[in-house]
């Protein structure tokens, strides 16, 4: 009979695909990506390692040396960049991202309380899951990453009707709209949304993702820009505020997304 006490379950449960792809540990990656300044480094590491209890004290210490904007930009967001990279490599999972985002939000609120005005947003993004589709995990992760990178997110949730997406875009006037679909039966909503937006003279990039779609499908209708992973959302969004339209994003897609592959 097998003696279960002698079995090393750490070795049994080890994901060898991740082990082979991820030569760097979270500690190695953080050491390479977080700021060198010791004060800002502590703030960034609080986010990376989900130190919810210490982030307040470290942010308060950083605010004695840096402006609230610098603590957010060079401390908290840098930490979230590492979290996004770890998630993209399959080392961190959704719970890691959500807890790290909570730590970051706690620090951001503290910084914002010290600002004279409100924090400037990079751009507004309307996000939704296609009509008839109840799967919103991918959309939720992308929303966390976009918020962490300074974007204002209008989250419409899941199973959103085509007409509601178009009406919300008209009302909110975002710079970006996104859609996710996990089922092939629901992804057909995307070209219909794109057509209706164009009929109303709206030509913003429509970033589409999810298990049901691929690049060829998304690029078969106007406005569509494919995202293979949630971590690519901020990369594409940053280029949009740099002036890239949906055509230029498609032309440069391989180069842009290769950064996070």
Residue 260 confidence class, pLDDT cut points 50, 70, 90: very low
Better-scored residue on pLDDT, 212 or 254: 254
pLDDT at 207 over 60: yes
* Residue 166, φ and ψ in degrees, nearest 5: -65, -45
What's the pLDDT at 44? 94
Angle at 139 between CA 255 and CA 151, to 5 degrees: 70
163: its two tokens: 């007409």
Say yes or no to pLDDT of 100 above 80.
yes
Region 203-212: mean pLDDT is 93
pLDDT band for 24, please (50, 70, 90 cuts): confident
Most confidently predicted of 67-76, 139-148, 176-185: 176-185
> Worst-scoring range by mean pLDDT, 17-21, 68-72, 202-206?
17-21
Residue 257 banded pLDDT, cuts 50, 70, 90: confident
Mean pLDDT is lowest, of 23-27, 57-61, 149-153, for 23-27
Mean pLDDT for the stretch of residues 65-86:
86
pLDDT, the chain, mean: 86
Q: In this predicted model, which residue has the larger pLDDT, 12 or 254?
A: 254
Judge residue 120's burial from the number of C-beta atoms within 10 Å of its C-beta, 0-12 exposed, 13-18 middle, 19 or more buried: exposed
pLDDT in tens, 104-160: 889 988 987 887 766 678 899 999 999 998 888 778 778 877 887 789 999 999 999
Least confident of 20-34, 98-112, 212-226: 20-34
CA–CA distances in Å: residue 112 to residues 42, 67, 75, 145, 188: 19, 10, 14, 19, 41
- pTM for the complete prediction? 0.67
Of residues 203 and 133, which shows the higher confidence score? 203
Query: In the chain, pLDDT over 90 holds for what percent of residues?
Result: 49
Please, which residues have CB within 8 angstroms of residue 226's CB and are 6 or more apart in sequence? 207, 208, 209, 213, 214, 215, 218, 219, 253
Nearest CA to 126 out of 194, 58, 35, 206 is that of 206
What's residue 10's pLDDT?
Answer: 47
pLDDT of residue 112: 79
């Amino acid at each position: 009979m097998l003696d279960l006490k002698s079995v090393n379950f750490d070795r049994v449960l080890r994901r060898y695909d991740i082990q082979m792809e991820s030569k760097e540990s979270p500690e190695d990656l953080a050491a390479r990506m977080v700021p060198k300044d010791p004060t800002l480094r502590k703030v960034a590491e609080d986010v990376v390692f989900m130190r919810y209890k210490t982030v307040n004290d470290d942010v308060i210490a950083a605010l004695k040396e840096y402006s609230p904007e610098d603590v957010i930009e060079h401390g908290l967001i840098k930490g979230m960049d590492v979290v996004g990279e770890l998630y993209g490599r399959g080392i961190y999972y959704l719970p890691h991202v959500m807890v790290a985002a909570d730590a970051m939000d706690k620090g951001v609120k503290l910084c914002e309380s010290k600002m004279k005005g409100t924090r400037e947003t990079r751009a507004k993004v309307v996000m939704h899951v296609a009509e008839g589709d109840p799967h919103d995990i991918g959309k939720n992760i992308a929303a966390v990453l976009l918020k962490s990178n300074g974007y204002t997110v209008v989250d419409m949730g899941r199973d959103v009707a085509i007409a509601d997406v178009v009406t919300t875009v008209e009302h909110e006037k975002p710079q970006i709209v996104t859609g996710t679909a996990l089922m092939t039966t629901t992804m057909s909503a995307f070209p219909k949304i794109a057509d209706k937006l164009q009929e109303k003279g709206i030509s913003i990039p429509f970033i589409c993702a999810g298990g049901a779609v691929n690049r060829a499908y998304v690029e078969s209708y106007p406005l569509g820009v494919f995202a293979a992973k949630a971590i690519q959302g901020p990369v594409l969004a940053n280029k949009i505020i740099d002036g890239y339209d949906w055509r230029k994003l498609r032309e440069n897609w391989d180069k842009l997304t290769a950064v996070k592959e």
